Amino acid sequence: MIKLLGLEEMERRHKDGEDPFALAIEKWVRMREFLREKADPARYKQAFLCGSTKIIFCLDYKDHCPLCPLECVCFDSQSLYYQIMRHLQVYSLAGALLPRGPLIELIESYVQNLNGYRKEWLKKSH
């Protein structure tokens, strides 16, 4: 059974030196796998709550959002992140009746985007 990645675990692992991008990516990969396991409105609600939880960047760049490498995701209401969150809200209500494929595909695209943001960030920092 897949366990969602929460902020406490991310904080602990970040303190131990893990890359915040790797943690953000893992959060969404786990969420995708968690949703693949079973189509259940309760699971979609759990995923929505997990997706709504801050990530390490939110803590590292608190009050300095324009410097964050994911700032474009948070402040664009049309971003893939917000599309996923809207889908999760709908699936929380009617998830067992809806096909999981479109939501899973959105999450997969978001993971790819996060990997792209990570590569861009690494180029800028070297």
pLDDT in tens, 8-66: 999 999 999 999 999 999 999 999 999 999 888 899 999 999 999 889 999 899 989 89
Query: Residue-wise over 40-72: b if at least 16 C-beta within 10 A, else e?
Result: eeebbbbbbebbeeebbbbeebeeeeeebbbee
Residue 99's domain comprises: 7-125
pLDDT tens track for 67-79: 999 988 888 889 9
Residue 98 is assigned to a structural domain of this protein: yes
Is position 121 within any domain?
yes
Is 2 part of a structural domain of the chain? no
pTM, rounded to two decimals: 0.92
Residue 23 falls inside a structural domain: yes
Tokens of 42: 């309760």
Phi-psi category of residue 79: left, alpha or beta, with phi > 0 → left and psi -120 to 50 → alpha: beta
Tally of domains within the chain: 1
CA geometry: angle at 75 spanning 72 and 78, to 5°? Answer: 85
Angle (nearest 5°) at CA 105 between 101 and 106: 120
Alpha-carbon span 90 to 44, nearest angstrom: 9
User: Looking at the domain assignment, is residue 30 inside a domain?
Assistant: yes
Question: In this predicted model, what pLDDT tens digit does every residue of 85-123 receive, in sequence order?
Answer: 999 999 988 766 788 899 999 999 999 999 999 999 989
What does the pLDDT read at residue 74? 84
Q: Does a structural domain hold residue 21?
A: yes
